[in-house]
Structure 1
Amino acid sequence: MATIKDIAIKAGVSVTSVSRVLNRRGYLSEELINKVHQAMEELHYQPNEVARSLQKKESRIIGLILPDVSHPFFGELTRAIESYAFSRNYKLLLCNSQLDPLKEKDYLSMLKASQVDGIIMGSHTIDTEEYLHIAQPLVTIDRRISSRIPYVSSDNFEGGVLAAEKLIKKGCKQIAYIGGNVELDLLAKKRYEGFKKEIDHSKCKLHFFQTNINGFNYEEYEELAAGIFRECPEIDGIFASSDIIAAAILKEARRLNRGVPQDVKVIGYDNVQLSRIISPPLTTIGQPIKEIGEKAVDLIISQIRKERVTVETVLPVQLIERETT
């Protein structure tokens, strides 16, 4: 098996130069990088990542725990985090909790034992006390745990305000909100708070529908959509707390021959790629998904480097109007 010394001899450079290329340290010319990589390829050299991690006391791996990577928002967020982490010379270890507290706790224990360099938490089903005993750098998404743990979110309250303002401006009078459990300590519930504040200040009537706390169930969304039109046939405006829920609303409206936006106007939340291609294209509150992912990674790396970090990061949202309003 080839060694670093063999690579150095083959490339005609020093062992130190090979080490610098492998660890991406200091100034590296394109010529040096090409020589070393060509020698590695010819000698079929594979760096021992475990040994290097132990020696340097770092793994260059970030753990990511999400509730359901099949959900479009979390899928796009994962892509953003992985791509940016890779550009910063970090790999990603993905854990899918499926909103199971035992599974989330098990994954958290695994990440701590695996000595990942940091953990990004996007799943929040276990007690906050568990997070306070994590030695590694930690960043949470859409949840404020303590004054010591950094978090990243979009401006959920403003998102709710923008959605309400648009429906009111479009002349809606009977307006429904459909979203997750507002009793949970999640920043996403501020979407409802901002929305309700604006509706309460208008002459419109607000109808509230809550999804199940236990997961992202697409069949449940379809049942909820049917229930909205069945219980409140007078509804003429709907704000869904995710684009997936909004898609279920559009499907049910089509089944009932309710014209969108003629009979009922619909606004989603997230601006995932799906919102552009469904019919009709969905008006939505756009979260800066790419920026959320990149900021989470930056906060992890800053903590690894013992730099001071900002605990609260709230990124702006924008209303993206398409054909459903």
Structure 2
Amino acid sequence: MAANKEPRLGDVAARAGVSVATVSRVLNNRGYLSEATRARVMAAIDEVGYQPNEVARSLLSHRTGTVGLIVPSVAIPFFGEVAVHIEDALAQHGLRPLLCNSYGRADRERDLLRSLVGHRVDGIISGAHNDQLAEYATLRRPVVTIDRELAPHIPNVRADNEEGGRLATQLLLDHGARRPVLLTSRSHERNLRERGYRGVLAEAAIEPLVVAVDFNLPEPERTTAIMAALDSVSATMDAVFCTDDLLAATALEWAHRHRRDVPGDVRVVGFDGTATMRRILPGLTTIAQPIADMCSTAVRLLVEQIGQEPGAEPTPVPAIALPVTVVEGRTA
């Protein structure tokens, strides 16, 4: 074999002293072969430096070994950590992610879905934050979501957001707050963190105070909007429950600019508890999501779907809500 020639299947067969068909059966794990034959073929593959044609193998097996992962942006610490844990969990099943950033745009997410289907991914994990997309309901691929409700038959793995909202709000009240404001990305009945906040305040006979700044606003507009939102309630609020840690970081900056002592004048609690934010703001009191467990659970559910025969009628599945943890800091 010439030094500059790419090794081929026949080269492996010649080195191992077997037929090309036998090498193909070893590579595709088909049919009975003795362990000695398998070992001889695998040794020959290493010796000649043969690289299997993954495209051809995927056409034969109808699997590509890839999974689409759609997130708003890995620049956001929570989704960056999700991407890392998803990749690690997929690798344990011999799968690889195709990472896609939707940047909060529904049209981009639709394009990504079409592209992933065109690349024949084995399944899709979606954590994007766009409103409902009809394309998911008819998608002929296994799908699992992380902290996102798409359709009754699509598994949704999330933290126990309502309990997290309750824990954060109760902590603020226990520490002396009487007018905690909720700072969130979107205020609506499906916002479970908001539901937890409202539930605790209802029990304490305290009027809720909610301000919302769109998650998908670009910077610096988003920071400006958060500052303005907090300005609008500054005369009445004495604490802020932020539904993510980036909001909490901006709330702390707002307090600093207005010379408000934290936690003396205003208390701040965040939500997420990523390793990145805990390094940047080690004193932040927050509600930590079990991100690694969420990701491994999502991958397990997707792998189970991939292994099923297609054609079964979709049936509703309950969301899986994993427990959160209070991380005590110096801000509440």
Q: 1:185-243, CA deviations, whole angstroms, 9 ceiling, x for partnerless residues?
A: 7x5x1100111110122154432110125346465235413541464245321100000
Match of 1:320 among 313, 327, 332: 327
Is 2:202 aligned against 1:197?
Answer: no
For 1:157-306, what aligned pairs fall within 5 Å after superposition? 157-183=162-188, 187=190, 189-212=191-214, 214-215=216-217, 217=219, 219-225=221-227, 227-229=229-231, 231-279=233-281, 281-306=283-308
Contact 1:268–1:285 (Cα < 8 Å) also in 2: yes
Is 2:83 aligned against 1:78?
Answer: yes
Q: Tell me which structure has the larger Cα radius of gyration.
A: 2
Change (3 A) 1:237 1:231: closer
Is 2:100 aligned against 1:95?
Answer: yes
| Secondary structure of residue in 1 paired with 2:87 | helix
| Secondary structure of residue in 1 paired with 2:154 | coil
| Secondary structure of residue in 2 paired with 1:73 | helix
Contact 1:82–1:92 (Cα < 8 Å) also in 2: yes
TM-score if structure 1 supplies the norm length?
0.87
Q: Distance in 1 between matches of 2:319 and 2:229?
A: 38
Q: CA deviation at 1:74?
A: 0.6
Q: Distance in 2 between matches of 1:222 and 1:16?
A: 65
Is 2:74 aligned against 1:69?
Answer: yes
- Structure 1: state its 5+ residue gaps: none
| Secondary structure of residue in 1 paired with 2:329 | coil
Q: Distance in 2 between matches of 1:319 and 1:16?
A: 59
- The farther-off stretch of 172-181 and 271-280 is 271-280
Q: 1:100-129, CA deviations, whole angstroms, 9 ceiling, x for partnerless residues?
A: 111111111111122111011111425442
- The farther-off stretch of 130-139 and 6-15 is 6-15
> What fraction of aligned residue pairs are identical, expressed as a percent?
38
Contact 1:172–1:204 (Cα < 8 Å) also in 2: no
Contact 1:85–1:297 (Cα < 8 Å) also in 2: yes
For 1:102-121, what aligned pairs fall within 5 Å after superposition? 102-121=107-126
Q: 1:265-291, CA deviations, whole angstroms, 9 ceiling, x for partnerless residues?
A: 111001012332234621111111111
Q: CA deviation at 1:146?
A: 2.6
Q: Distance in 2 between matches of 1:273 and 1:218?
A: 24
Q: Distance in 1 between matches of 2:235 and 2:29?
A: 63
- The farther-off stretch of 213-222 and 150-159 is 213-222
- Structure 2: state its 5+ residue gaps: 1-5
